[in-house]
Chain A
């Protein structure tokens, strides 16, 4: 996908600031904090009116994303994901710190940053509901400075890519939630931006459409030139499938940042092993495992027996169990292990945060 030909100032092809950002870095977030001020705080103070405390949405967030990388941002509602995305997209200004997109500063060079970034949010209201799919996309394409022919060509490509061709003459308000979501992605891709911010891109899609969307996202990242993607999602399987690295954000702080597999394994050293065997009863299986795997649980599943036990990742327990069962005449039918998911990782951080919070409160109370 070639970048859009016309932009305000240097468009996605400008390379001087890119060099300043460091080789291969598409997006850098440096010590970004965001506190939403209380509206009319001075006025309220003057008249001694009661007001709620300011909301601290982000606290010292630092991360960098390489060109062509698919980077995931996970966390609960209100953790700060959307605020960070909007700061990168120049829609919200940080209180402290800076964001660089291909070397352009999100506050000083905001128009240039907007020419580099496409944002697809799950916010349906950001389109004109009485205009058709085509009219909406044409309007936004013209704002990106695209010419008539380029607009027409690009819209055709995107309608095909996102399977919206049949909907082109339907009003936006008449679209299904899933198609509205595809429209958001189509708009974000209009000017072929080198950086794409996707806020829950598959939230309202059916499983097949979601799988296709994931495929599209993957293809964009592998394309020429590659698109750098920041993906926020509540679908952790999706994040694991797509993202090379994931940051866990909780209460405005990045709590961990690593490859999904490493994140899971470093936080959760245990896994549950499940072995399905035949030719033995549950009691016989328990006896066979007894000395080698003392905490194994067995249960009947039709003519087969399910055996499960918890083990430390990398220990010899699974090997010992399989040997003991085989030696006792059991036939191993299936074997699988289940490590902690990213959900466990988030929950663990939440627990830690809650404990830290209550600890601070107690300390403060003393």
Chain B
């Protein structure tokens, strides 16, 4: 058991080191990414200044729109990594032709899943931290509530989206392109999960059917929970609703997606299309 765990850690580390080495081989990209996060944070701040002084809203978390955005955007970024990193990694390994080399080693499918996405999570953690840091250091944002509870929401939502990401990677494995999950979750999250405006506005302005969609997007619960914790300072007892919703999503999606991914690898082997892209 301990040996298997150490083996898993060693393999995940190998992937992280590899991806780090690949990333530093493109040095400028790293600095431009930091610059772009700074620019986005500044842009959001200046947009929020439009409402400064004369802004009244019934939505408690939106009284300071900059605070609402700066707490949602880094997490959305994190969730999207959870969702897209595996499919991107698989597609990239297929396109490069390296997937065959990796699958020639005695690595198991779950290890491949965890290890392929590991570097993206390391990067996303750093980028998300930068959003929060710039908001705090440059624009005087003060966060409330328990950071541990916020991290719990972050982990849960990321795991749920990673499960959808595994489904997306399964699709990439078999059909190579045209991933439907990417379209639904990728573009749908920003619209339906309340990143830029309260989800209640979807029902109010778009009708009940429109608002209903947001309930099926896990990101809605993740962002709601994190905002309640970091902006309103709510505790565990107050955020039970979004927490349970995320747990239900996870209980259904994780085993299902692992089963689908294993089958898709098997199918690609049957078709001999492991390195086609």
Which A residues contact B (CB, under 8 angstroms)?
6-9, 34, 36-37, 39, 57, 83, 86, 89-93, 95, 111-112, 114-115, 117, 119, 121, 123-131, 135, 138-140, 142-145, 147, 171, 187
Contacts and interface: CB of A to CB of B under 8 A. Distances in A.
Interface of B: 3-4, 7, 10-11, 13-15, 17-18, 21-22, 25-26, 96-98, 100-108, 266, 269-275
Given A123-B100, A128-B98, A143-B11, A91 B269 contact: yes
B7 A86 contact: no
B104 A91 contact: yes
A114 B97 contact: no
Nearest to B112: A143
B7 A8 contact: yes
Given A8-B108, A125-B97, A143 B14 contact: yes
Given A7-B106, A111-B108, A128-B22, A140 B11 contact: no
A123 B99 CA distance: 12
A329 B104 CA distance: 67
B21 A143 contact: no
Contacts of B3: 6
B97 A36 contact: no
A52 to B, nearest CB: 14
Contact of A127 (B25, B101, B103, B272): B101
A138 B107 CA distance: 15
Contacts of A124: 97
Interface of B: prevailing SS: helix
B95 to A, nearest CB: 9
B14 A37 contact: no
Contacts of A37: 270-271
Nearest to A129: B96
B14 A91 contact: no
Contact of B104 (A83, A119, A138, A139): A119
Contacts of A187: 101
5 contacts: A37-B270, A39-B271, A89-B104, A93-B266, A142-B10
Contact of B272 (A89, A92, A119): A92
A142 B11 CA distance: 6
Given A8-B106, A130-B25, A147-B10, 12 more contacts: A6-B7, A8-B107, A8-B108, A9-B106, A83-B272, A91-B269, A93-B269, A123-B275, A125-B96, A126-B275, A143-B105, A143-B107
Given A36-B272, A93-B269, A135-B21, A140 B105 contact: yes
A131 B21 contact: yes
A69 B7 CA distance: 32
B17 to A, nearest CB: 7
A130 B26 CA distance: 9
B185 to A, nearest CB: 24
Q: Which 5 residue pairs across A and B have the least CB separation, nearest first?
A: A125-B97, A142-B14, A143-B105, A126-B101, A115-B106
Nearest to B108: A111
Contacts, number: 105
A92 B101 CA distance: 13
Nearest to A95: B270
A140 B101 contact: yes
Contact of A139 (B7, B18, B272, B275): B18
B4 to A, nearest CB: 8
Contacts of A92: 269-270, 272, 274
Contacts of A34: 272
Contacts of A112: 106
Contact of B18 (A8, A111, A128): A128
A92 B10 CA distance: 27
B18 A131 contact: yes
Q: Which of A111, A112, A139 has the most CB of B within 10 A?
A: A139
B234 to A, nearest CB: 43
A111 B7 contact: no
A111 B106 contact: yes
A8 B6 CA distance: 11
A144 B111 CA distance: 12
A297 to B, nearest CB: 51
A115 B7 CA distance: 14
Contacts of A90: 103-104, 269
B106 A144 contact: yes
Contacts of A36: 271-272
B100 A91 contact: yes
A121 B15 CA distance: 22
Contacts of B98: 125-128
B199 to A, nearest CB: 37
A131 B22 contact: yes
A357 B56 CA distance: 84
B10 A145 contact: yes
Contacts of B96: 125, 128-129
A114 B106 contact: yes
A83 B7 CA distance: 31
A330 B11 CA distance: 74
Nearest to A147: B10
Given A8-B7, A128-B22, A144 B270 contact: no
Nearest to A115: B106
Contact of A93 (B4, B22, B104, B270): B270
Contacts of B97: 123-126
Which of B3, B15, B97 neighbours the largest number of chain A CB atoms within 10 Å of its CB?
A: B97
B13 A130 contact: no
Contact of B13 (A121, A125, A129, A142): A142
A247 B269 CA distance: 25
B195 to A, nearest CB: 34
Given A6-B7, A131-B21, A114 B105 contact: yes
A229 to B, nearest CB: 16
